[in-house]
Structure 1
Amino acid sequence: MAKKVLVAYASKMGATADIAEVIGDELRNHGHDVDVLDVTTVKGIEPYDAVVVGSALYIRRWRKEAVRFLRHHVDELRARQVWLFHSGPVGPDKDQDETMPPAVRHLAHKIGATPAVTFPGRLERATAKGFLARRLAAGDLAGDSRDWVKVRAWAADISAALDATERSSWHRPVATPPAGNFLG
């Protein structure tokens, strides 16, 4: 049975928004009902069975609006399956996993979410905003490093976890959902 999934994101230059759209498309391809929304436009998470939250990562920090979203919905998220991702590394470090910023790590622990997966980002002159980003985009770090195979595979893993939860609930003698979240 299809799950209702929210993919919420915070993006500065559009790269994280694109990743969120691909995650949403992959989940739809697996039969789920998905809304992909900027975190600032989410009215509530009541209708969703599961939530994916992603943020652009700048100087090892999540966008403030993404942290605010997690903080505002912590109790509701605790009752759902939650996956986190961040994007941003470019250049020679693009394939290295980034640790979650302390505030995000704390909120992920409160929610019961596993650590955020890191996706390489995009930095292009045409979309660079702010002095530092424009300066970096003019140098060696410019380019699109996003790994669409990795993004789609991660979304397929989320779908498999959602499907497994559905199957396991058929055999569960108690009608309440399991505590905590599942690995993403």
Structure 2
Amino acid sequence: MTTNVLVAYAGKNGSTEEIAHWIADTLNDSGVAAVARPAAREDAPGQYDAVVLGGSLYAGRWHHDARRFARRHAKTLATRPLWLFSSGPLDASAADRNLPPVKGVARLAVRLDARGHTTFGGRLEEGAKGRIARMIIQQGRGGDFRDKQQIRDWAQNIAAELTAAERAA
């Protein structure tokens, strides 16, 4: 059996999508077949052996498409290896230490028996959508706070766990 992983993502300005693609690329490079797809357009997570679901954070909440995907596919997700990630802090805090999930994501992780969660730094740059995002940029607090190596390391850990489980089966 070859493990096939869905990396579903939800965000507004492209940062979470890029993170999802970095995760899928790392899984593929590690010998685990993976695809990154928008959570809002993915209707068949049951065709995958494992799922990574990520959402950007806005005002302490996961993007609504990530929450909706998790609710809509809860029964399927609870029967597969599942990892969650959040993206969003606009500072170095996510690279400096392991940030706990926001309350809603923490509850979701327990309910779906997720194998792990991590928070990655976010990116907010000129041209971002939304009034608040534009205000943050105008105040000089935007930038790219993602740590690509941290993201790749996390994805390699997922690949190692899936590969070990496959060998044991």
TM-score (normalised: structure 2):
0.92
Q: Is the 8 A contact 2:86 2:118 kept in 1?
A: yes
Amino acid corresponding to residue 40 of structure 1 in structure 2: A
Give the greater-gyration-radius structure (CA).
1
Using the TM superposition, name which of 31-40 and 137-146 deviates more. Answer: 137-146
Runs of at least 4 residues of structure 1 off by over 4 A? none
Deviations 1:1-51 (A, max 9, x none): 631000000011000000000000001111222121000110211111100
Distance in 2, matches of 1:29 and 1:156, equals: 9
The answer for unaligned runs of 5 or more in structure 2 is none
Q: 1:15 to 1:156 in 2, by over 3 A?
A: same
Q: Which structure is higher in helix share?
A: 2
Query: Match for residue 175 of structure 1?
Result: none
The answer for unaligned runs of 5 or more in structure 1 is 170-184
Distance in 1, matches of 2:94 and 2:138, equals: 17
Query: Match for residue 37 of structure 1?
Result: 37
Distance in 2, matches of 1:94 and 1:162, equals: 25
Asked if residue 109 in structure 1 is aligned to residue 115 in structure 2, the reply is no
Amino acid corresponding to residue 52 of structure 1 in structure 2: V
Q: Is the 8 A contact 1:87 1:120 kept in 2?
A: yes
Aligned length, in residue pairs:
168
Superposed CA RMSD in Å reads 1.5
Q: Is the 8 A contact 1:2 1:31 kept in 2?
A: no
Q: Is the 8 A contact 2:61 2:104 kept in 1?
A: no
Query: Match for residue 21 of structure 1?
Result: 21
